[in-house]
Amino acid sequence: MDRSIRDLESFLEKHLSKSRYLHSINVARECVKLAEIYGEDAEKAYFAGLMHDVCKELSFNKQHKLIINSQFEIDEIEFASKPLWHAIAGAVFIRDEFGVTDSEILNAIRFHTTAHGGMSRFEEIVYLADLISIDRDYGDLEKMRELAYSDISEAMREAMAYSILSSVKKSVYLPRQTVEAYNNYLYAKGNNIEVKIKEKQNGKYKEA
């Protein structure tokens, strides 16, 4: 990728509404803050945060064209949920338009709406930066910020729970990856799903 950050910011300023542009800058800054806390590449994090919503204001038609040429696996729920398309479209767009090949950046953008099971720390940073950036405003924001700065896995578990609850309240589909991510973070927290998984062999649960 041979464009400077300033060039990319000008590109976004031209192609996004003012509020979306400012949101992108805020998320990029938040990404740097989290990258510094968790020892990730701050420059790369700024770039991923800056570009995460690059396709959010593109028509669904154009987003659709991008995602059907995607290198990513997309399931039926994502295809049925247009608001999720911009994440996949964004990753394809920066690959094709800006020659980005770094899979961490591409995946962080691709999964910034749904999350997925087994996320990298870098992906978590972009996901949470989007959720806690300075332009956000919701009830548990301060709690989420505190968690993001102190225990990123717990912040992700909380974020997955929040995302699932709000999808259910709005009666919108639950992406499979979000449920997988939720289970993963809960499992990591030491809840006893592990026991059940280990007890199941050859498709059957063993007797206790």
List residues near Fe ion by CB under 5 A: 53, 130
Q: At residue 201, what are phi and psi to the nearest 5 degrees?
A: -135, 140
Closer Cβ to Fe ion, 83 or 99, answer by number:
83
Closer Cβ to Fe ion, 54 or 147, answer by number:
54
Work out how close the CB of 150 gets to Fe ion at its nearest, in angstroms, rounded to a whole number: 23
Closer Cβ to Fe ion, 53 or 124, answer by number:
53
Work out how close the CB of 20 gets to Fe ion at its nearest, in angstroms, rounded to a whole number: 8
Closer Cβ to Fe ion, 78 or 130, answer by number:
130
The answer to whether 133 and 144 have CB atoms below 8 angstroms apart is: no
Q: How far is the C-alpha of 37 from the C-alpha of 30, rounded, in Å?
A: 11
Q: At residue 204, what are phi and psi to the nearest 5 degrees?
A: -130, 150
Work out how close the CB of 85 gets to Fe ion at its nearest, in angstroms, rounded to a whole number: 10
Q: How far is the C-alpha of 149 from the C-alpha of 178, rounded, in Å?
A: 22
Classified as helix, coil or strand, 179 is: helix
CA distances from 144 to 22, 126, 137 (A): 21, 14, 11
Closer Cβ to Fe ion, 130 or 158, answer by number:
130
Reference 28, options 54, 57, 59, 1; nearest CA is: 54
Work out how close the CB of 23 gets to Fe ion at its nearest, in angstroms, rounded to a whole number: 6
Q: Which residues contact 17 (CB under 8 A, 6 or more apart)?
A: 57
Work out how close the CB of 22 gets to Fe ion at its nearest, in angstroms, rounded to a whole number: 11
